[in-house]
Every structure is written in C-alpha cells, then in structure tokens.
Amino acid sequence: PLSGVSLWAQPPGGQVALGDRLVLSCAVAKGTGPLSFSWHRGGSAEPLGTGPRLELRHVGDEDSGHYQCRASDGDSTAESPTLNVTVL
C-alpha cells in the first residue's frame, strides 16, 4: 500500500503574497506502480488539479485555505497532511 505522502510549498510554509505564484508539490515515500495525484482544497471532492505539482500563477484571496494532495496507485489511496495556505 501507499504510505508517506508528503506535501510542500514554494514559497515555504504556504505564505504567499497576493498576486504571486504558489507551487505545491506532492511526493510518496512508498508505493508501487503508476501513481496518480489529485489536489483538493478545504475537503472539496472536486480536484483542483492532477499530477505531482499544483501551480497557482496569480494567487488571490479565494486561494487561501487548507490544501491536501491525494495519491493513488489504483489499489490504494493515501492523503498528505493538510497545508494551510495564507494569502498575505
């Protein structure tokens, strides 16, 4: 099964100035087979994006919130810890 899903942000800590760029990255410590990723904010079911990176080019106030990456290998799914993104 998948384990060790981690999430990190650039700029670090998820604090980003209004209008700046935010890049979120997701990685899996353990897992086999082709991985798929989806990104979620505030527990919404509708993914913001797919793939190991999520790039928000011009961050707005509506982009603040709790982000999470979900990784799947087809058989099992694991979620990263939640990252709180703050727009300054």
The predicted structure's pLDDT at residue 74: 87
Could you read off the pLDDT of 26-80 as tens digits, one per residue? 999 988 779 999 999 997 889 999 999 999 999 999 999 999 999 999 889 999 9
Domains and CATH numbers, the chain: 3-87 (2.60.40.10)
pTM, rounded to two decimals: 0.91
CB atoms within 10 A of CB 86: 11
Task: Determine the Cα–Cα distance for residues 80 and 77; give it in Å rounded to an integer.
Answer: 10
Task: Determine the Cα–Cα distance for residues 54 and 33; give it in Å rounded to an integer.
Answer: 21
Residues 6+ apart with CB under 8 A from 33: 73, 74, 75
The predicted structure's pLDDT at residue 33: 79
